[in-house]
């Protein structure tokens, strides 16, 4: 198995993966899945054996890197790909000067997954596109 996770300008592929996971599979309204933040974001694409299988984006704001739109195709879930994608996003964020922490909004079922990667949940549960989420943070210091 050959896996490559890297920063990409191939937004069409990232958007296609996100559409498949968020819109088709999870029922997120299509008009909510893409937003104006995509233009300024750093996008990551995971390619396994030449096939795109996951994506994420990072939006930098001050000293915070907001990791979001993390998606992995069903065929590669449970393989460790999701963890590798988050680790790549964290490494990309840490490489940017003056970035002190990563934040993300986790779907409730994924909180344990992110906790294993060092994130800590905080704040109340909130609705995002009809799905319950909770904010999480990973301090780099």
pLDDT in tens, 108-126: 999 999 999 999 999 999 9
Residue-level pLDDT at 129: 87
Instruction: Please state which CATH number belongs to domain 3-139.
Output: 3.40.630.30
* CB within 8 Å of 61: residues ≥ 6 apart: none
Confidence band (pLDDT; 50, 70, 90) for 61? very high
Question: In this structure, what are the phi and psi dihedrals at residue 122, rounded to the nearest 5 degrees?
Answer: -150, 160
Q: 3-class DSSP state for residue 27?
A: coil
Is the whole-model pTM more than 0.75? Answer: yes
What pLDDT, on the 0 to 100 scale, is given for residue 90?
98
């Amino acid at each position: 198995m050959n896996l490559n996770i890297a920063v990409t300008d191939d937004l069409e592929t990232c958007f296609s993966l996100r559409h498949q996971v968020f819109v088709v599979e999870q029922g997120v309204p299509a008009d909510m899945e893409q937003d104006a933040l995509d233009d300024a974001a750093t996008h990551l694409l995971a390619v396994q054996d030449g096939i795109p299988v996951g994506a994420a984006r990072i939006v930098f704001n001050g000293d915070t890197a907001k990791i979001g739109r993390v998606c992995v195709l069903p065929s590669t879930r449970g393989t460790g790909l999701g963890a590798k994608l988050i680790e790549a996003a964290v490494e990309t964020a840490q490489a940017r000067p003056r970035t002190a922490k990563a934040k993300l909004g986790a779907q409730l079922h994924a909180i344990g997954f992110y906790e294993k990667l060092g994130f800590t949940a905080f704040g109340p549960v909130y609705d995002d596109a009809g799905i319950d989420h909770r904010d999480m943070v990973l301090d780099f210091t």
